[in-house]
Amino acid sequence: MAEQRFVLTRDGYERLKQELQELQAREQEERERLQDVVSDSDPSVEHAAYQDARTMREDIAQNILYIQQVLNRAEVLGEDPDPYRVDPGDRVIVWDIAAREERRFDLLGSAEVVVNDGKGVSIESPVGQALLGRRVGDVVEVDVPDGKARYAIRQIERIAE
């Protein structure tokens, strides 16, 4: 089975590296807090502060492992391979035909969407899949929670880094 790759923009990769450093610092702080709680408590009594500190440290450690996995398996996007075709790392401006309004989709890998607090559209999502490989002037139809959406692609540009 092939190893999963994580598609990231250069900016997303750098943000993940920064988040990893911050989490590692927090993990050290939690480790020290945990040691303080252990030394201050009666070992025969289950201590709520100990459980809280341990749970927090475990959560941080899981996040660190995930980010390390993403960074180790990252495919960092470079220059746009075809500026006239929608590719990962592109910003796509569309006209929502039913809503009669313009929308903007930043096509990112799912790991980067998470890091961006949900800003952007995963290339694995239905909208992302429908847009990939399309060109200006194409109309795509996508199944969305409210039914079907139709978007006319107006503009394709690389996400500024």
CA Rg, the chain, in Å? 21
Domains of the chain: residue spans and CATH: 6-76 (1.10.287.180), 90-158 (3.10.50.30)
- How high is the mean pLDDT of the chain? 86
The confidence score (pLDDT) of residue 45 equals: 47
The confidence score (pLDDT) of residue 57 equals: 83
Query: Quick one: pLDDT band at residue 86, thresholds 50, 70, 90?
Result: very high
Render pLDDT for 47-66 as a digit per residue (tens, 0 to 9). 676 777 778 888 999 999 99
